[in-house]
Amino acid sequence: MSENTMKAARLFQIGDFRTVEETIPVPHGKELLIKVGACGVCGSDLPRIYHHGSSNGKYPLTVGHEFAGTVVAVGEEADPSLIGQRGAVFPLIPCRKCPSCLTEHYAMCADYDYLGSRSDGGFAQYCLIPSQWHFVSSKNKEVPMEVLAMTEPACVAQHAVRKGDVFAGSNVLIFGAGPIGIMAGRWAKISGASNVLLVDVVESKAEFAREHGMDATTANGEELVKAVKEAFGGKLADVSIEGTGFGSALENCIWCTKAFGNVVLLGNPAGNTTITLKAHSQVLRKELNIKGIWNSHFGGTPINEWEFTVAMMDAGKFECQDLISHRADIEEIPVLIDKIFKREVVSCKALYLAELD
Ligand SMILES: [Zn+2]
Ligand SMILES: [Zn+2]
């Protein structure tokens, strides 16, 4: 490798994902060059690599949108004092012109670009980002890169809790005991929830959640309603967060949530969603609030969830490093992702960690 080359894990076509040598990009204008410290494997990366490919037909595409790193160079119009700063990268590139962007609801942008699905992202030793706006700097050098790289999923989890109106005393039920489910549980507790119960159909995932400080169950149907009441002092959930995308979980949410309660839809649908007529009727009878959520909030009002998350990581008040189950260097990251896809490896959070290169 020469001085101006790097390694990047790139998607050449659907199913053809490998690490290659590339020229290190040079920042121009407002751009920043980030030396990637860590980049997480997102559930959405698997279908991207193996089923639907690049979102805009760009090939090769450097995949990876959950990343953090250090600013190592800046364009002519960017602030040179940023060099040396460590932080998380907000991967969405909104148009800044549509009605959603003009009200700072960037996740709803009608015409966006995205690092890692449409433009080159974080499974690389270096990544160019459009401007300082995308960089959320950490003020604590002790926070590991792999923690900062979890800012994106941590914000998605936080957004679900916020939109579910979880507050002090709430009883919160969360479907899906993966990293986002567990992080949502932690945000719920930070928000003052009295009780949090996670549900997963896979016993090993429920067990992992228990080992990481959460109450978790694999109960289903009436058994689950019983388990919920047991966990919540005889009551149903004030807030249910559906993080799996399965109709069966939505059905359970409906039965397990109290009258006037909130059901937050966080998991991308796994197929056509079917619920029973009785459950449908319960939505009406209980006047449930069913609320969809999308990504996370980067605008200033009420708060920028990204800045808040990094501040909480800096302060040591939000833990997620214990959820990292697998780490790989840049050469091995496509191999690890392949094993996760083939279910040869069961991971909670897997990531590329530059320290291993
Ligand atoms: Zn993601
Ligand atoms: Zn827009």
Does residue 134 share a domain with residue 168? Answer: no
Which ligand sits closest to the CA of 295?
Answer: 1
Residue 130, judged by CB atoms within 10 A of its CB (0-12, 13-18, 19+), counts as middle
Does residue 142 share a domain with residue 181? Answer: no
Q: Look up residue 29 and give its DSSP letter.
A: T
Q: Is the bond preceding residue 269 a cis peptide, omega within 30 degrees?
A: no
244 Cα to the center of ligand 1, angstroms: 14
**Does the residue 308 lie in any domain?**
no
191 Cα to the center of ligand 2, angstroms: 31
Q: Which of 274, 292, 310 is the last residue before a domain boundary?
A: 292
Q: Which of 292, 312, 337 is the last residue before a domain boundary?
A: 292
How many Å apart are CA 74 and CA 304, to the nearest integer?
24
Q: For residue 53, what is the domain's CATH number?
A: 3.90.180.10
**Does the residue 264 lie in any domain?**
yes
273 Cα to the center of ligand 1, angstroms: 22
Does residue 72 share a domain with residue 167? Answer: no
167 Cα to the center of ligand 2, angstroms: 31
Q: Look up residue 130 and give its DSSP letter.
A: S
295 Cα to the center of ligand 2, angstroms: 15
Q: Which phi and psi (to 5°) does residue 260 adopt?
A: 65, 10
Tell me the pLDDT tens digit for each residue of 153-165. Answer: 999 999 999 999 9
Here the tokens at position 247 are 């109709």
Q: Look up residue 51 and give its DSSP letter.
A: I
Total of domains in the chain: 2
Which ligand sits closest to the CA of 63?
Answer: 1
Which ligand sits closest to the CA of 106?
Answer: 2
How many Å apart are CA 159 and CA 238, to the nearest integer?
17
* Band of residue 1 on the pLDDT scale cut at 50, 70, 90: low
121 Cα to the center of ligand 1, angstroms: 12
How many Å apart are CA 300 and CA 308, to the nearest integer?
11
Tell me the pLDDT tens digit for each residue of 16-68. Answer: 999 999 999 999 999 999 999 999 999 999 999 999 999 899 999 999 999 99
40 to 44, 66, 206: CA distances (angstroms): 11, 5, 22
Amino acid occupying residue 354 = A
How many Å apart are CA 254 and CA 1, to the nearest integer?
56
Does residue 325 share a domain with residue 249? Answer: no
**Does the residue 18 lie in any domain?**
yes
For residue 341, give the 3-state DSSP assignment: helix
Does residue 171 share a domain with residue 146? Answer: no
**Does the residue 88 lie in any domain?**
yes
**Does the residue 313 lie in any domain?**
no
313: enclosing H helix or E strand: helix 305-314
Does residue 273 share a domain with residue 184? Answer: yes
Which ligand sits closest to the CA of 351?
Answer: 1
Tell me the pLDDT tens digit for each residue of 76-129. Answer: 999 999 999 999 999 999 999 999 999 999 999 999 999 999 999 999 999 999
116 Cα to the center of ligand 1, angstroms: 10
61 Cα to the center of ligand 2, angstroms: 23
Here the tokens at position 287 are 């006047």
Residues 6+ apart with CB under 8 A from 84: 70, 71
How many Å apart are CA 220 and CA 116, to the nearest integer?
36
Which ligand sits closest to the CA of 40?
Answer: 1
Does residue 140 share a domain with residue 74? Answer: yes
294 Cα to the center of ligand 2, angstroms: 15
297 Cα to the center of ligand 2, angstroms: 14
pLDDT of 251 reads 98
Does residue 231 share a domain with residue 344? Answer: no
Which ligand sits closest to the CA of 268?
Answer: 1
What residues make up the domain containing 280?
A: 154-292
**Does the residue 179 lie in any domain?**
yes
68 Cα to the center of ligand 1, angstroms: 13
Does residue 339 share a domain with residue 238? Answer: no
Q: Which of 277, 292, 307 is the last residue before a domain boundary?
A: 292
**Does the residue 299 lie in any domain?**
no
348 Cα to the center of ligand 1, angstroms: 13
For residue 8, give the 3-state DSSP assignment: strand
Closest CA to 7 of 130, 119, 115, 127: 127
Tell me the pLDDT tens digit for each residue of 257-270. Answer: 999 999 999 999 98
128: enclosing H helix or E strand: strand 126-129
111 Cα to the center of ligand 2, angstroms: 5
What's the whole-model pTM score? 0.96
Does residue 141 share a domain with residue 163? Answer: no
DSSP string, 151-217: HHHHHHHHHHHHHTT--TT-EEEEE--SHHHHHHHHHHHHTT-SEEEEE-SSHHHHHHHHHTT-EEE
Does residue 41 share a domain with residue 15? Answer: yes
**Average pLDDT, integer, range 190-208:** 97
Does residue 181 share a domain with residue 52? Answer: no
Q: For residue 249, what is the domain's CATH number?
A: 3.40.50.720
**Does the residue 59 lie in any domain?**
yes
Q: How far is CA 328 from the centre of its chain?
A: 19
